[in-house]
Amino acid sequence: MHHSVAERPAPSAAPARLRRLPPEAGIALVLIALALAFELLGWIFVHQSFLANAQRLVVMILQVSVIGVIAVGVTQVIITGGIDLSSGSVVALTAMVAASLAQSSEAVSAVYPALTDLPVVIPVAAGLAVGAAAGLVNGSLIAATGIPPFIATLGVMASARGLARWYTRGQPVSMLTDPYAAIGSGAVPVAIFLATALVFHVALRYTRYGKFTYAIGANREAARVAGIRVGRHLIVVYSIAGLLSGLAGVLTSARAVSGQAGMRLMYELDAIAAAVIGGASLSGGVGRMTGTVIGTLILGVVTSGFTFLRIDAYYQEIVKGAIIVAAVVADQYRRRRRLTAT
């Protein structure tokens, strides 16, 4: 028995509703599931609530805010189809430079004794400038020589860490002024992270800068044929990523009230993980700031949850590596499905 077109049952509206959900919905569900899992494990193993401790949650958000600022820049690089391995080292270098210009006159071994008690804008501007310069080097190397971003940023990663150690011969910088330390106090880093994410969310979705960034990541040759100056735009994107690493360096030194060359080791991997967990594709052309914010919070929940359960730090690193691999595998799966659908 055949049904006429009018008699055929209408397709279910549920799949259509699912397709209309934003891509970050699934990531947000993962975040909620992780938080609830740690809440359950907390009652079972340590007889405490994970979510009810407001102080723990505040500390967690403060800890990941610096990673989040870096991840905002790294996400834009990943969208272009590139990668930035230098961000953690750039954070250390900018932290040292900014802290050296933020020392008070009470510092016994000031890096620049004649430049103590400077207005807070000077060390902040210096840190941002050093970060932007490192990003400019990354972008210029990639655009001018055509070498893979992995190699270019790996070289800058090693050089920036070496410069951070050379700058004060490995000695930490301490005794910073109160106005500078205030930048890293309280909820200021969190507010800066969220404001930065909002600014670049708008830039990526509603400006020509964002359209060019996605176009280059989706198909670089097509973007070039369409009239986009790919090399120049890549320099801008990497410079912005460096600038945000500089901002993270300022926040790091202000929060620690010191600068040290060994600061933020492996933070570049945390930032990449936050972006990829948040849905950015390492193949380029895909990624959103809302996803990066959620991915950053997921990293924070995992780290805080493991500390809450008194699990050793080396297990945390193992799990973090597994999460990165799982996120990349999920990205490849999504990419294959998109290719199959087209």
Q: What is the pLDDT along the chain (342 residues), one digit of tens a residue?
A: 444 444 444 444 445 554 566 777 888 998 999 999 999 999 999 999 999 888 888 888 988 999 999 999 999 999 999 999 999 999 999 999 999 999 999 887 889 998 999 999 999 999 999 999 999 999 999 999 999 999 999 999 999 999 999 998 889 999 999 999 999 998 999 999 999 999 999 999 999 999 999 999 999 999 999 999 999 999 999 999 999 999 999 999 999 999 998 887 788 999 999 999 999 998 899 999 999 999 999 999 999 999 999 888 888 788 878 887 887 787 778 777 777 776
How far apart (Å, rounded) are the C-alpha atoms in residues 162 and 262? 10
DSSP code of 42? I
How far apart (Å, rounded) are the C-alpha atoms in residues 9 and 3? 9
Helices within 46-103 (DSSP H only):
54-79, 87-100
Contacts of 27 (CB under 8 A, 6+ apart): 277, 278, 279, 291, 294, 295, 298
Res 8: pLDDT: 46
Q: Which domain holds residue 199?
A: 25-341
Q: Is position 9 within any domain?
A: no
Taking CA atoms, 80 is separated from 24, 74, 175, 224, in Å, by 20, 10, 41, 13
> End-to-end alpha-carbon separation of the chain, Å?
34
Model confidence pTM above 0.95: no
How far apart (Å, rounded) are the C-alpha atoms in residues 36 and 303? 15
Contact 193, 68 (CB under 8 A): yes
Extract the tokens encoding 38. Answer: 């740690």
How far apart (Å, rounded) are the C-alpha atoms in residues 96 and 174? 10
Task: Tell me the backbone φ, ψ of residue 103, rounded to 5 degrees.
Answer: -75, 145
Q: Is position 12 within any domain?
A: no
DSSP secondary structure, 274-319, as one string: HHHHTT--TTSS---HHHHHHHHHHHHHHHHHHHHTT--HHHHHHH
Extract the tokens encoding 71. Answer: 């991840």
Q: Is position 225 within any domain?
A: yes
Q: Is position 11 within any domain?
A: no
How far apart (Å, rounded) are the C-alpha atoms in residues 243 and 200? 13
Q: Is position 210 within any domain?
A: yes
Q: Is position 222 within any domain?
A: yes
Q: Is position 295 within any domain?
A: yes
Contact 177, 102 (CB under 8 A): yes
Cα 187 from chain centroid? 18
Number of domains in the chain: 1
Q: Is position 263 within any domain?
A: yes
Res 332: pLDDT: 78
